[in-house]
Amino acid sequence: MAENKLQKSQNSSDEEDDDRKPDIISRYRPGHIIDHERKGQQFTFHTENRVKLQIQIHNPDIIQIRYFLEGDVQSDFSYAIDPDFQSEEVDISFIEEDRLFEISTATLSCIITKKNMLVHFFDAEGNMICEDEHGFYRRESLMKGISEIKVTKKAPKGDRYYGLGDKAYKQNLRGRAFENWNTDAYAYERGEDPLYRSVPFYAGLHQDRAYGIFLDNTYRTRFSFDRKENNISSFSAAGGVMNYYFINGPTLTEVSERFARLTGKPEMPPMWAIGYHQCRWSYYPESRVRHLASTFRKKKIPCDALYLDIDYMDEYRVFTWNNDLFPNPAEMISDLKKQGFKTIVMIDPGVKVDDNYPVYTEGRENRYFCTRPDGEMIIAPVWPSKCAFPDFTHPDVRDWWGDLYEDLLQEKHISGIWNDMNEPAVFEIEAKTFPEHVRHHFEGHPCSHKKAHNIYGMQMARASLEGIKKHNPDKRPFLLTRANFAGGQRYAALWTGDNIASWDHLKLANEQSQRLSISGYSFVGSDVGGFVEQPSPELFSRWLQLAIFHPLFRNHTMGYNVDGAAAVKKEEVELRKAQSDLDQEPWVFGEKYTDINRSIIELRYRLLNYLYTAFYNYVQHGTPIIRPLGFYDQTDKKALEENDAFMFGDHILVSPVLEKGAEEVETYLPEGKWYDFRSGDLLEGRQTHMVEAPLSEIPFFVKAGTVLPLREVMQYTQERDPELLELNVYAGSSDQTGQLYEDAEEGYNYKEGDYRLTSYNIEIRENSLTITASREGKFKPKYDTVLLNIIGLSFEPDSLTVDGKAQSLKKDDGRYTVQATPDFNKIILSR
Ligand code: GLC
């Protein structure tokens, strides 16, 4: 009897065990909509199977789409969205029909199907822009939680896809899938993915009409653009909420601008920050840094900033100095300052575990470092073999970190900070970063590293920026970061990481910079010359030529640090002498190349006012500083196909030389007429031209009708007050406008109206050219003369008036020149 009982109970427990499974997986696709409600500009739809869709109209051109399951905890928290972004009151029409709902603004209409909650977007004329294929999907399980949220959309043949921040790939992303997971991608190759930063935003172009999608989700995200050639695109995340913004165009540039307005823009940089920067891993000891500085001045190669890479620290302890190598940093830095050099130093996130090191002990005592779920600190190797990592997602930690900069800024007179390794990078392990279980505060929404990984670098940059601003309040900050996330453009400039000195990497530097720029991130550049390996003299000069058109213009190389983490030993100072063939300064390739490189860098300094004006438009309106040609004319198939030539600001088209040995370059010029900057020759648009490109020259073209400001070349941006501003006036066939933005180039007075925005208007008639200038703001420039070079006049003028007063005409080299004061209003050349 007892045996029977035992038998029975064993059977039943077997049966019970059979019932149990390793996990319970649930998959959700929305069913029929059964209910809906509206609260102001927010609409909520409910399906029979618990899916909830929330549509929020932020302005006529930005609509936020979110999916939840009934019962989910909802939060509006976002690191990406600019805290200053404000929704507007919008006139909305809401219609319910048999099979659908329609929500419309003046420019966009969003249709939601009742049957399966698909979301489609149309323009005001009723043209389809972007349609769901299967729409929303979510997979979750009891053991793992939400593991995938996804939206699938149609990818009609011919649709193109741009953006996605940093991908080492050509402009149109169609045919590929990409992932966002910030990764230390040392010596990455073309096509390698993911890279250092995540910007889950793309612009789509459907039949000449552009729209944008921004997936505001910090988990690992994945984007597929018709990868399976089934005309389907999708975006998904490994957790969290499906929360995306649909951004209207209709132009690609407008999509980028709206995305930048949604996620924020930086403030104006100081002018010196867009001068030439010289970096390497690493300049030491002090004597070498001083020698470097004096060589720039001796060789008359303009330069505004020098960098100290990790070796200036005491055994890689952040916020310390190696006193053997730099016995008196404050003195060295102020001497450099006198010579016109700003000094920028590196700060990494990894804090050396060391009981005698206050940064570590303070962080540990205050529990500022990231921990595992049970409270144990995560300790991992980066430069020091044992590091703790501040949890930058905690406001107190950011404050503490920001204050650590006080000594660097106030005592040592450092002008800029370079944050690196903040993916966060971890050496030696395959994952290259923290385990996913590491915990983060996330502004009071505690979470795991799965959710915080992609914004770790961004929050480090934020902490740094806030500290720099606090401890150097009168100066504009300069901060450079490697890792980042959408919206991080508010805090720091970035460079494209550890590239290679190869011709393909020159191409990639071009493609990556354009892509980042249209993804909200204009303050960007590559390591000029390549970080890994050495460039040939030719490659180096070509790289410089490309980079004078990149907002961040920095030469950087890993030099002789061939095996990565060499500790600072005194002998290395000697060792480097033997290895100076790995140097990459503009003068190391021989005199012929030094002259070429000097004139390239000088050209950058000539163009600084133009770049600064483009910066103003970026800061003001979110307009990307550099743009692929397709953004100039998205109806032009040839321009859309172009990967190399690009727009620099609104008026310059750059046709970089990216091939070894090339002496000429084939360039397609889109709509309009274009002047070759070098010769002043006028070329027709909508045509391909073969133009000369000897190594000493970079072909670039100025749009007819442009007023191009040219600055005096100086050895550094603030060397002296300029005496003169030149304006190249490129006569066009139709009336055109142009702009020049000026301010003190430092400090914040420009925010109180101490700036000057000059708008030029060019009117061209058969026998006359009229240039009018109108101005806004109270800033008075320092120069007292404006010299206008009139290029491409189609008639021979015999009279010139400047503000009504007759002047004699001067012709120089086929160009008429006109002298005026900085406040001139009207110049007329006529016959
Ligand atoms: C990383 C950076 C590189 C830097 C090096 C040493 O590789 O990307 O720019 O020179 O670390 O700090």
Show the DSSP H helices in 353-423 as ranges.
358-365, 395-404, 406
The residue ranges of DSSP E strands in 100-175, in sequence order, are 100-104, 108-113, 119-123, 128-141, 145-154, 160-163
pLDDT at 564: 39
Q: What is the mean pLDDT of residues 248-265?
A: 98
Would residue 498 show up in a list of annotated catalytic residues for this protein?
A: yes
Mean pLDDT of 713-726: 97
* Residue 536 confidence (pLDDT) above 60: yes
Q: What is the pLDDT of residues 569-599, one digit of tens each?
A: 555 555 555 556 688 999 999 999 999 999 9
pLDDT at residue 576, as a whole number: 57
**Contact status, residue 798 vs residue 809, Cβ threshold 8 Å:** yes
Instruction: Give the pLDDT score at 16.
Output: 55
Distance 787 CA to ligand 1 centre (A): 44
pLDDT of res. 440? 98
Q: Which residues contact 285 (CB under 8 A, 6 or more apart)?
A: 324, 325, 326, 573
Sheet holding 42-47, edge to edge: 33-39, 42-47, 51-59, 62-69, 242-248, 209-215, 201-206, 160-163
Q: Is pLDDT above 80 for 55?
A: yes
- Atom 12, ligand 1: which residue's CA is nearest? 310
Domain ranges (residues) in the chain: 25-262, 271-618, 644-831
Distance 344 CA to ligand 1 centre (A): 14
| Residue 199: C-alpha distances to residues 211, 217, 481, 505 (Å) | 16, 10, 14, 21
Q: How far is the CA of 480 from the centre of ligand 1 (A)?
A: 12
User: Which tens digits make up the pLDDT trace of 120-163?
Assistant: 999 999 999 999 999 999 999 999 999 999 999 999 999 999 99
| Marked catalytic residue, from 193, 498, 572, 726 | 498
Quick one: what percent of the chain has pLDDT higher than 70? 95
354, two tokens: 């060391």
Report the chain's mean pLDDT, rounded to a whole number. 95
Q: Which residue has the tokens 């995938």?
A: 148
| pLDDT value of residue 582 | 80
Among 61, 216, 286, 420, the active-site one is: 420
Query: Can 271-618 and 644-831 be said to share one CATH topology?
Result: no
The whole-number pLDDT of residue 15 equals 52
- Over residues 372-392, the mean pLDDT reads 98
Q: Which residues contact 727 (CB under 8 A, 6 or more apart)?
A: 707, 708, 709, 710, 740, 760, 786, 787, 788, 789
| pLDDT at residue 562 tops 70 | no
**Ligand 1 atom closest to Cα of residue 498:** 8
In the prediction, which pLDDT does 561 show? 61
Mean pLDDT of 816-821: 96
Structure tokens at 202: 């793309």
* Ligand 1 atom at minimal distance to the Cα of residue 281: 10
Ligand 1 neighbourhood includes 309 CB (under 6 angstroms):
yes
Average pLDDT over residues 537-542: 98
Q: What is the pLDDT of residue 732?
A: 82
Q: What is the pLDDT, as a whole number, of residue 122?
A: 98
Determine the topology of domain 644-831 in CATH: Immunoglobulin-like (2.60.40)
pLDDT tens for residues 726-767?
999 999 877 777 899 999 999 999 999 999 999 999 999 999
Residues 25-262, CATH architecture: Sandwich (2.60)
Q: List Cβ neighbours of 811 (8 Å cut-off, separation of 6 or more).
A: 817
% of the chain surpassing 90 pLDDT: 92
For the Cβ of 260 lying below 6 angstroms from any atom of ligand 1, the answer is no
Cα–Cα distance, 107 to 86 (Å, whole number): 18
Architecture of domain 271-618: Alpha-Beta Barrel (3.20)
Counting ligand 1 atoms within 8 A of each CB, the residue from 498, 527, 552 with the most, and so the one to mutate, is: 498
Give 310 Cα–ligand 1 centroid separation in angstroms.
8
Answer yes or no: is pLDDT of 61 > 60: yes
State the pLDDT at residue 580: 62
Q: Produce one character per residue of 209-225: b if its CB has 16 or more CB atoms within 10 Å, e if not.
A: bbbbbbbbbbbbbbbbb
- Between these two residues, 811 and 701, which has the higher pLDDT value? 701
Average pLDDT over residues 240-248: 98
Radius of gyration of the chain (CA): 29
| Ligand 1 atom nearest to CA at 421 | 1
Q: Which residues contact 192 (CB under 8 A, 6 or more apart)?
A: 168, 185
What pLDDT, on the 0 to 100 scale, is given for residue 275?
Answer: 98
Instruction: Dump pLDDT digits (tens) for 418-452.
Output: 999 999 999 999 999 999 999 999 999 999 999 99
| Distance from residue 420's CA to the centre of ligand 1 (Å) | 7
Contact residues for 430 (Cβ-Cβ < 8 A; gap 6+): none
Joined tokens for residue 435: 């385990």
Identify the pLDDT of residue 1: 43
Is residue 11 scored above 70 in pLDDT?
no
Cα three-residue angle 212-213-217, rounded to 5 degrees: 150
Compute the distance between CA of residue 372 and CA of residue 430 in angstroms, rounded to an integer.
Answer: 19
Which of 420, 532, 562, 584 is the best mutation target for the ligand 1 pocket, counting ligand atoms within 8 Å of the beta carbon and taking the most?
Answer: 420
H helices of 519-621, where? 537-547, 570-578, 591-606, 608-621
Q: What's the confidence (pLDDT) of residue 581?
A: 66
